[in-house]
Amino acid sequence: MTHRATLIRGDGIGPEIMEATLRVMAAAGASFEWDEQLGGVAALNDAGTPLPDATVESIRHTGLALKGPLTTPVGTGFRSVNVALRREFDLYANVRPTTSIVPGGRYDGVDIVLVRENTEGLYVGFEAHIPVDGDPKAVAQSLAVVTRHGCERIVRYAFEYALTNGRRKVTIVHKANILKAVSGLFLEVGRDVSRGYEGRVAVDDMIIDACAMKLVLDPSQFDVIVTTNMFGDILSDEIAGLVGGLGLAPGGNIGQRAAIFEAVHGSAPDIAGRGIANPSALILAAAMMLDHVGEAPRAGRMREALAHTIRTDGIRTKDLGGHATTMEFADAVTQRLA
């Protein structure tokens, strides 16, 4: 079956890792009709804006996108393209699966999915400075906004994800002991939602700082974690660090009207064009996209081929301690898929 999707190659190393990813997808037999659009600096140079209307309309039409890393231009007044896309399409669920792939690290057997609320909390951008005694920035304030609706749908998403994917437990992570209103509401709603899954999915809850510590001490105790926007932003990078870094961290931004899959690392302009970037995160994001469109067997083959390339064949890019170029790594994965 051929699927229609928007393709955004991205900035910096984006075009390189996207080319590698498309090569692997083709070897896995994935069939897509791509509507290629621009975003980030490439779009700013071409269309005068980092998020052109044509890109938004394309995603609105396809409801699906694979996106390379985008750079938000500094000093231009433009806000993050990633944030703009989440708001435009109400991509309320950020899903970050992390598994141990590279052998010989501090941890083995890590298999954690973090589900992060993607549209609320402190990241809504309600900020202001309050002048005092002639100092226009004497006081800075930021307002966190959390709604019952937002809490309910992200927690329910996490439990449904657990059911669909054979997961055993959901951990609700919060700071309700201090942030009694915003985090208290998240915990209250989370517990309410969890009752509907009693006997099917286990549940516990944990304060954010305790969670951060326990992830480092023993990540095997976690399965699915659901949390608020900023806490999820921080914990997802910590979890990626347990298995070798952001070069192995895919992400999906999912809503009712659209889903955008991406490598969660930056555009790394310092190594752009050198052919040494690790495409694994984007390849794994493409596998997530295949899961999303009902192509789980192909997604599984891609993940297995990538893992064998790293573990069994010992072919790795520089960030993982190897010497393979971006395309050499991609070609090794495609050989595993042959």
Active site residues: 123, 175, 209, 233, 237
Backbone φ, ψ for residue 303 (5° rounding): -60, -45
Backbone φ, ψ for residue 145 (5° rounding): -120, 120
Q: How far apart are CA 282 and CA 16, in angstroms?
A: 11
Residue type, 306: L
Half-sphere exposure of 116 (CA within 13 A, CB side): 24
Location of structure tokens 């984006």: 14
- Distances from the Cα of 314 to the Cαs of 64, 101, 246, 285, in angstroms? 33, 11, 19, 22
Backbone φ, ψ for residue 231 (5° rounding): -60, -40
Please name the residues in contact with 209: beta carbons below 8 A apart, sequence gap of 6 or more: 175
- Distances from the Cα of 164 to the Cαs of 3, 192, 241, in angstroms? 22, 20, 26
Q: Which residues of 222-236 are buried (b: 16+ CB within 10 A; e: fewer)?
A: bbbbbbbbbbbbebb
Tokens standing for 93?
């669920």
| DSSP per-residue codes, 123-158 | EEEEEEEEEETTEEEEEEEEEEE--HHHHHHHHHHH
Q: How far apart are CA 309 and CA 334, in angstroms?
A: 9
Q: How far apart are CA 303 and CA 285, in angstroms?
A: 10
The angle that helices 296-311 and 280-292 make with each other, rounded to 10 degrees, is 160
